Amino acid sequence: MPILSVMLGYLFFGEKLNKKRIFSILLVILSILYLIIASIKSLPWVGLIVALSWGFYNLVRKKINVDTDIGLLIESLFILPFALLAFFLIASKGYNDFQLSDPPMMLFIYLAGPMTVIPLFLYVRGVELCGLGPTGMIFYITPTFQFLLGYFYYNEPFSITKLVSFIFIWIAVIIYLKDLHETN
């Protein structure tokens, strides 16, 4: 998704790409291809679908000239019927975990909204202010924390192939963001 965001920013908003940024993008693409070829027997379809949907969501969101809070309100209202249907199905099947007898679970359910909306608001606001390229590259923080959680908490295996790819991707991100800082 970050590479797609950089490409979409370049194509649709004229975001600048110089030699250092192009080198960092090529380094990331090579790292991803290396990871796919070396360790995966098939294409990661879910990852590709998430990357495409999130990248094009960012493009459309930036193209539409509406304030961040109003845009999120409209998006929430659009999703509301689907959420109500999901809540109905959950409650009718007896999977409702929101019970007065379980205050900690109630607290977690209450906090799920702000824990989702606040980072989304800040991210969308960042895209509006900085552009798709820089926010896309900064977005590598998310998979990095997912990796750290998977490796240290869930004891997921971590191969040398993933380590090499991980190192090259972060070198590329640092090059891109350092160049971005130097030109501004």
- Residue 32 inside a domain? The answer is yes
CA distance 143 to 155: 16
- Residue 72 inside a domain? The answer is no
Residue 184: predicted pLDDT: 65
- Residue 23 inside a domain? The answer is yes
Pick out the chain residues at pLDDT < 50. Answer: none
Residue 85: predicted pLDDT: 95
- Residue 108 inside a domain? The answer is no
Q: Which domain holds residue 28?
A: 2-65+121-183
Per-residue pLDDT of 124-135, as tens digits, reads 888 888 888 888
The number of domains in the chain is 1
- Residue 107 inside a domain? The answer is no
Residue 101: predicted pLDDT: 82
Residue 80: predicted pLDDT: 93
Q: Which residues of 85-94 are buried (b: 16+ CB within 10 A; e: fewer)?
A: eeeeeeeeee
Q: Other C-beta atoms within 10 Å of 18: how many?
A: 10
Per-residue pLDDT of 41-75, as tens digits, reads 777 788 789 888 988 988 888 888 888 889 889 98
Q: What ranges in the chain are assigned the alpha helix state H?
A: 2-13, 19-39, 45-63, 68-92, 103-130, 132-138, 141-148, 160-183
